[in-house]
Structure 1
Amino acid sequence: MAVADAEVAVLIVGGGPVGLTARALLERWGVRSLLVEKHGELSPFPRARLVNVRSMEIYRSLGLTDGITAAAFAPEYGRVRFRDAMRDPDFATAAMVGVNAPVPESPVIGALTSQDRLEPTLLAAAGGPMRFGVELVGLIEGENGEGTEGEGEGAGGGEEGGSVVAVLLDRRSGEESRVRARYVLAADGANSTVRQRLDIGTTGPGAMAAFTTVVFDADLGLWCAQRPAGVYFTTHGLFAPLYPEGGWAWFVPTPDDPAHTDWSGLVSHALGPGADVRVDVVRVQHWTMNAFVAERFRHGRALLAGDAAHAIPITGGLGMNTGIADVHNLCWKLAGVLHGWAGPGLLDTYGTERLPVAHRTLSQAVANTQLMLDVRNRRSEQLRSGAAAPPDQLELPWSEQYFAQLGLVLGVAYDSGAVLTDGSAPPDPPGTDTGAGAGTDYVPTARPGHRMPHLWLTQSRSTLDAFGEWFTLLTPDPAHWEQQKAIAPWPLRVEALPPEHLGLCGIGPQGALLIRPDGHVGARWRDRPPGDSALQHALAGLTGVTAAARGVRGRG
């Protein structure tokens, strides 16, 4: 095998929100990880700006919500406004549901905050090693350190003792080192080095357009203080406040000669005629809006997450949040395989479960983008032709519920070997198309595969607070099910479910729900099953543990 300078259970490549979240999740599971980031520091650019309600649920389980909201905008900023120019009145507005106000479907509320405010909180959430300025430049996968192990979704992914050697380059010193890891988690962005080295293709539109983000300081309170929003769409580009104490970003298609562009002049012009405001440009970043999904999320011991797995257009704030949900799905499975209470085949369910979510999310984001462009182009044409209608008489191409994406965010359902179906019919999810209104409505259900609904166990404790680094059995009959709890090797807790929730959960007074560590229902018993091995069989089935392996629990 290739000689390595160090060994680690999981090597995380990429120090953005997805990689940092994975680092925190794995540390909670007791899994040793090393995170490497090719840039010399955390990103100084705002980039992603919305932490949606599902991501905040995940961060609630990590104890991070207070730190995130402390640096975030007030909820009333959770709104989108449409204007001809920043100095003009709104001709349309829509709420970001789950961000602008609490929703009964969750114990938390989403947060509007810039990525450069989020990342330090995530970095501080774990104490494991992180190396800035270090780039992955090679992968040697296979028992003998030669070539790659197979080509399929689960190829070479779980043999006992197997590993992959990563070749790392310190970009400051020029020195190379090698790290042996049981698994590599690639969260290294849309231009993922890991994905390219493994020759994993992508599907989708690809590069959609070149954009520029201009970060600037200006006093826009005259036009915005009484009409707060997280995003202002105008015919001259998209404006967004960056921090509660000040700062703005302007998103615009990249001009033909960006190196010689008067950015301060362009921003001033975009604010609208007569807008006598001083604009101080702080920094400028050029980037490409991509739209694709990787053909597979796993190759041998390498697993893709976040933008490395799926690049989602920014409209709707879905990209980063989808990546956070990726690693929430993946990290408990990695922990199970590494600790010995899950079989290696469990990792195959990661792609099976998350690929359909990525495709649906991409379709929704592309639809969002097209609608935004349609609004802007339609209004621009009206203004050019002199036929612009008054703002209150404009016909919009979507309903008020268009931005209510709880169905897409909370309604995710998985169908894989890590879910034991109970024969029940799925609920009829409204808005399953990819046009306006898709994914707007969320129907809470405890059907296996779905996110367990938020229900209050006590006055201040949600069902979601019962989930963590263990499986959870929710039942109105905990005394009986506790008798089955002492079964190795799975981490398991039994929680009492108040009787008033039985109807929504679809169980009787002696039934139970088995919840996976990521909060999705793994199995459901409507009534007490015959015999005393139902729970053991269910855990073995959804984790892929053979009878011979039960009772053996290792550490990663």
Structure 2
Amino acid sequence: MPVADARTEVLIVGGGPVGLTARALLERWGVRALLVEKHRELSPFPRSRLVNVRSMEIFRRLGLAAGITAAAFAPEYGRIRFRDTLSDRDFATAAMVGVNAPVPESPVTGVVTSQDRLEPLLLGAADAPVRFGSELIDLAEEADGVVALLVDRRSGDQTRVRARYVLAADGANSTVRQLLGIDTTGPGALGDVTTVVFDADLRRWCARRPAGVYFTAHGSFLPLYPEGGWAWFAPTPEDPARADWPGLVQRALGPGAGVRAEVLRVQHWVMNAFVAERFRHGRILLAGDAAHAIPVLGGLGMNAGVADAHNLCWKLAGVLHGWAGPGLLESYETERRPVAHQTLRQAVANTQLLLQVQDRRRAQLRSGEVTPARIELPWSEEFFAQLGLVLGVSYRSDAVLGDHGTPPEPSDSGTDYLPTAEPGRRMPHLWLTPDSSTLDTLGEWFTLLTPDPAQWERQATATTPWPLRIEPLPHEHLDLCGLRPHGALLVRPDGHIGARWRDRPPSAATLHHALTAITRSTPPDGQAP
């Protein structure tokens, strides 16, 4: 069979939200990328439902936030409701923090939207080539790159792609991870689940009490689009081929609903829960579900993958453009794998709690025991208090310098978030003007935020070849940032603080040495960082 050849700097495997985000980020960095996706088109299923505030901050930098919000549900849908059936009254409800309403910790608000509405916007955010229907079947590493063998699923034609690096975002059943023999840790498969997409007029029970998810004792209902459409998901029955899907949905709607569900599509899937034992194999790096499969309840999985891409792409760009050493890529796994484990622990705990409460509630209903006092809430407070997981992430690696030039101490923020400018943390959102945030100063460069730009400008003249911008920081923010009048924060391109000087720079080469250390680059003339 004839084999054609192609070359690219980064081969992205997988055309879901993580792969598409990586493609857009790499294009911003001027990195040539090729994305391949084994399916012939973007997924038609709703799948992931929540874009949290951190992902929206990333999409804002890509110019996508307004479009994503326009296609999403109104903020009042950022709420969870629990009922015995959909046509019953709520017996518990809670808001999704950062989605139901703005939060002071971010200039953006998360949204409830279906993945099939998000992906076309991500696809249109870059011009880099995409090959749908092209499946990766083999990988081989060479001294200066990776050779990937692709097959066109329609014609059978094969293509050999030579790439400097491979970014694998090909899902929980990742072909790349399996080819590399990378094992996983964690609970594994939590159960088989079926999603049924259907049409029905449910406004009578939902219009006045909107929600992004309605949990019931017989499965969960999700409104798909502002203009209509629904999905119901529940554990897959023993004989799915013979299942009466309209009947099962009808039971969950309730005997008094009086509407018939028109089933449009049925999808069976496995709720996985694991973290890969390694996120890197030489020049091949795993991201998103390929690196960590997070249960869907809580909406943390896709967002964690977007954060992976944001962490990784600036590092790939630095290495490919020559202002970072290959050792910088070691910090990707060091920084993101602990976050994946922390996220998985919370998602699994809350998934198990919800499933247990649903099981007990069904048993109560069968036995006729419906006393309101005996109704158990199906979640813990931590299920919705997610800002600590999405805004309070703290990195500890060689790509972060502590206040005394040493790596910062590890930190577990849990689900609470307290804005801080400690090295390793996301730069806090602080208003610089009524319309401009500190986050708006960040981009495809390192940002030095300081109340004394003139002094640090003299240092910046010696920072070639790193991309760097110096931005003024108003004095009213000094206390929160832990700075004095001549101090500075060095913020990495992914928005995390790489270094902090509380006051004057210790030497004329302070900034140069910090960038050299963070990027693992080689100083000129063998000068020690």
Aligned residue in 1 for 2:304: 322
**2:118 paired with 1:118:** yes
Aligned residue in 2 for 1:100: 100
1:532 aligned to which of 500, 508, 515: 508
Following TM superposition, by how much is the alpha carbon of 1:256 offset from its aligned partner in structure 2, in angstroms?
1.6
| Count of residues paired in the alignment | 523
Given the superposition, is the C-alpha separation of residues 363 and 75 from structure 1 closer, same or farther in structure 2, using an over 3 Å criterion? Answer: same
Aligned residue in 1 for 2:377: 396
The answer to whether the 8 A contact 2:361-2:375 is kept is no
Following TM superposition, by how much is the alpha carbon of 1:386 offset from its aligned partner in structure 2, in angstroms?
2.1
1:342 aligned to which of 324, 335, 345: 324
**2:465 paired with 1:489:** yes
- State the distance in 2 between where 1:80 and 1:515 align: 36
Mapping for residues 23-422 of structure 1, pairs under 5 Å: 23-143=23-143, 162-390=144-372, 394-396=375-377, 398=379, 400=381, 402-422=383-403
- State the distance in 2 between where 1:308 and 1:41 align: 20
Mapping for residues 460-499 of structure 1, pairs under 5 Å: 460-486=435-461, 487-499=463-475
The answer to whether the 8 A contact 2:200-2:229 is kept is yes
The answer to whether the 8 A contact 1:427-1:443 is kept is no
Gap runs ≥5 in structure 2: none
* 1:411 alignment partner AA: G
SS in 1 for 2:389: helix
Gap runs ≥5 in structure 1: 144-161, 433-437, 552-556
CA RMSD in angstroms, aligned pairs only: 1.8
- State the distance in 2 between where 1:82 and 1:425 align: 44
- State the distance in 2 between where 1:94 and 1:87 align: 18
Following TM superposition, by how much is the alpha carbon of 1:398 offset from its aligned partner in structure 2, in angstroms?
5.0
- State the distance in 2 between where 1:547 and 1:311 align: 39
SS in 2 for 1:474: strand
SS in 1 for 2:250: helix
Give the TM-score normalised by structure 1: 0.92
- State the distance in 1 between where 2:377 and 2:217 align: 15
Residue deviations 1:201-241 (CA, integer Å, cap 9, x gap): 10011111001000000000000001000000000101100
The answer to whether the 8 A contact 1:413-1:451 is kept is yes
1:518 aligned to which of 494, 510, 513: 494
- State the distance in 2 between where 1:230 and 1:332 align: 33
* 1:319 alignment partner AA: G
* 2:363 alignment partner AA: E
Tell which deviates more after alignment, 419-428 or 4-13: 419-428
Residue deviations 1:366-423 (CA, integer Å, cap 9, x gap): 0110121132123222222222222x77453655564111011110000000000115
Given the superposition, is the C-alpha separation of residues 350 and 426 from structure 1 closer, same or farther in structure 2, using an over 3 Å criterion? Answer: closer
Give the TM-score normalised by structure 2: 0.96
Residue deviations 1:491-542 (CA, integer Å, cap 9, x gap): 0000000100000000100000000000000000000023211000000000
The answer to whether the 8 A contact 1:15-1:36 is kept is yes
The answer to whether the 8 A contact 1:94-1:400 is kept is no
Aligned-residue identity in percent:
74
Following TM superposition, by how much is the alpha carbon of 1:312 offset from its aligned partner in structure 2, in angstroms?
0.5
The answer to whether the 8 A contact 2:151-2:158 is kept is yes
Given the superposition, is the C-alpha separation of residues 23 and 428 from structure 1 closer, same or farther in structure 2, using an over 3 Å criterion? Answer: closer
Given the superposition, is the C-alpha separation of residues 54 and 389 from structure 1 closer, same or farther in structure 2, using an over 3 Å criterion? Answer: same
Tell which deviates more after alignment, 209-218 or 401-410: 401-410
Residue deviations 1:134-158 (CA, integer Å, cap 9, x gap): 0001111123xxxxxxxxxxxxxxx
Which 4+ stretches in 1 moved above 3 angstroms?
392-395, 397-402, 423-429, 548-551
